[in-house]
Amino acid sequence: MPLNVNINPSWQPVLEAEFNKDYFKNLVQFVKSEYNQNTCYPDGESIFSAFNHCPFEAVKVVIIGQDPYHGEGQANGLCFSVNAGVAHPPSLKNIFKELETDINKPIPKSGNLDYWADQGVLLLNATLTVRAHAAGSHQNKGWEQFTDAVIQQISAKKQDVVFLLWGGYAKRKGQKIDGSKHCVLTCGHPSPLSANRGFWFGNKHFSKTNDYLIQKEKAPISW
């Protein structure tokens, strides 16, 4: 299946310079080849789902993930999110547990987070594609450079965005965010390895995000 670079038109002027760079053209060729020769996730139409659910002008919150899920039917183009009917992966379970204790929200049946994205939460994986059952197989092919540019453009061109950086990888990825005009919240990763050592639970990132948005006269997220 060919890579579909049909991205929400609002992102086109923001990212046009990246699309025209050699690394991105090489990345497109790599991804097309991978999708033609192997099973890859998410499906071709969903690679840019994070952007298509969340236009540039609507971005209020950015959550940074690492790799798409590589199991069958899991990845849907939004970080930490899985398609409806798919069992919640361990990190997502811990995200929902924190939501429950932070804002008293019952754990949802569906792990599809598109309703977050539709409210202005950019659920951005650092790498947007992966080969089936091969974690990290599409890393270091250009996606990270592209998503770095996405983060930098949001930081430069917008004001009062909440960046949620969970775990060491996301913190490094967010190093160039301008903390003087945005809210940057950090904590451990929601994976059991980190969460069970006390680095995730109790971070209250969901209520803190909404408190900040309200303070900036923006509509809070209905998590």
199 sits in the region (left: phi over 0; alpha: psi -120 to 50; else beta) called alpha
Instruction: Write out the two tokens for 193.
Output: 């390895």
Q: CA 92 to CA 95: how far, in whole Å? A: 5
What are the residue numbers of the active site? 67
8 A C-beta contact, residue 172 and residue 70: no
- CA torsion 42→162→153→48, rounded to 10°? 10
* Number of neighbours of residue 103 by Cβ within 10 angstroms: 15
Single out the residue of 23, 9, 68 nearest to residue 43, CA to CA.
68
111, 139, 122: which is closest to 64 by C-alpha?
Answer: 122
